[in-house]
Structure 1
Amino acid sequence: MYDMLRPNQLEKKSDMEVLFFLLILAARIKGLQVEGPSSALVVQLGGAVVLPCSSQNPLPLEGLRVEWSSDSGSVVNVFQQNEIRPELQSPAFSGRANFFPDQISRGNFSIMLSNITREDAGVYRCQVYTDQDSSETTVEIKDVERLVVTGAHHAIITSVGEEVILNCSVDSHIPVHQLEEVTWTKHPDILVLLFQNNQTFLESSHKQYDGRVEFFTSEIPGGNFSLRLKDVRLEDKGEFICKVHAADLSAQTTVIIQQIGLSSLQKFILELCFISFALALGLGVPVFIFLQKEGTAE
């Protein structure tokens, strides 16, 4: 077969074989590698959290052993001999730390830790062994908080007269009816909307927001205290703070309306005013040509 190939074809074939060999060699040198999260985790007291640990490539279950342990030396959970071994768990993690059984064969060795306690804060080690190799990664639970409030990840850009939603979600094991107060304020201290003793008090809103704000009432039991702001005005630009109080706990999140532009109608009215003014000054033709060019550019 090689006799039938031209010299340049033989050279290309040889290069491909060398490249293929190098790829295999690199994969063997690299060996088994498992990965965890890039940063520490902040979790909710009484809630649940996934402790990530995975391999980019699936591993054969035969001879595979995965062991999760805490920095206190406790056994969190173990997978070996092609099965999960809950009987090896330390009492503190019994029934609370579980693998995702259908994901293990795909290289996902993460566990779900539920019913979080303050004692769960610390470093967790995921160790993976095969017949030929081993690797490990760590996951840190940095803080265990009882009350977590989250909002928007990005600033809001809107237009005058539009409607926007300011996100505020309360993630807590505390039932909503036990929350003492949820307030939305416009920086520095303008009261936008108040939820207190399981009721919404629209009459407490500052006159600037009278009739323009509301909660999603049906979603409050699920901890959604997002605010619907209607008929946006230029003075709405700035920071809105959602603050939650429960017993001796409090937490808050901030949502920023960064930019408020003119509505399409307002722009149209301004253009008409500009044209009328230009016509009054005898500049009708130049202005028409300018607007025509602007329209073409868009």
Structure 2
Amino acid sequence: MLKLRFYYSSFLCVNYMYIMFIVIAILLVFADGFTVHGPPDPLVAPLGSSVVLPCFVDEPLPVKDLKVEWRRTDSETLVHLYQDGESRAEVQQQDYHDRAHFFTDQIQHGNFSLRLDNLTAEDEGEYTCKVYSQQDSNETVVQIKDVERLLVSGSSRSTSAYVGEDVTLNCSVDSHIKPEHIEEVSWKKTVGDEDILVLHYQNNEAFPDSSNEQYRDRVEFFTDEIPKGNFSLRLKSVRTEDKGVYMCQAFAGVLSANTTVVLEQLGFSSWHITVLFFCSVAGFGAVLLLCCLIYCRSKNTDNSRTIWNLQLSLVFFPNVCMFFAFILWGLTEGFLHETVTCSALYILRPVMLIWALSYLKYLQGMLEFKVFYHYYFC
């Protein structure tokens, strides 16, 4: 009898414990309601791209009375709201208007993730996804960290230099991306609707042979500064035609950014001043010699040697001055073929005039004969 009572008591105790376990489990389920899940790690995305902020539950929730809020954790700014079976874009904070979107067709399956477009640096921070369903609610926190940015900066002021000098065009790539991961940097000059390639850098190597002929062997990077993100350009022996707008553009994966540098106010060097001096002397000297020659002829001067010297000076002096002017211009601007052509023209011109002098005397004699014949026989 005692054994029977013992077994009966044990049976009741076990069943009581089993029932209590079931009741506690049910209470815990109802107490916890549902669990909202987010990503295990902070999100990283490129600047200007789109990023998905995960927020979901294990089992679908009834759409009736369902409300989902996305807010900035730091400021309680409303990023987006789902309520009454639809997205409520009209209540969004203005900064997120047309940028934050639900996947509305996935909400019925328990997916409350948010897509944030055109990511900016200000979007970094924590976001809270809070889900309300009937009498229960739960939330998760999503963090956007280290938005990948690529900032390219140059000089805020125009750059100027004297012709013939070397000039530096500034371009600095400010990014948490390591310089060795910057895939490409290109310097171009904008001429109307056309871009002229000045210098190209790709896969940790500069390609000077790809430069336009106008800049070949005159441009280079500061190689020691590249690991610091400095992609400034050294332009050697500046010419007058180098004046204009230059663009430095950097690429790293899907990221790209650029800056412009203006090269203007190119001053004259001592070489240019010398060229202008020779041109001025040639012009004024020719005018002065011509006036002297006309004066001597008008006075019927018998000193033919003086007239002969003036004529020779008028032939040789301006051409010799222009010959030296073009030699100096070639040394300054570096256009060899044009320098040789123009210099040869001005040095050969007096030789051709001297060679043609005998023909001029013959023509003068023919003209005098015609005048005499017309006067006496017509």
Q: Which has the larger radius of gyration?
A: 2
- The TM-score, its normalising length taken from structure 2, stands at 0.37
- TM-score norm. by structure 1 comes to 0.46
Structure with larger RCO (C-alpha < 8 A, sep 6+): 1
Higher strand content, 1 or 2: 1
Higher helix share: 2
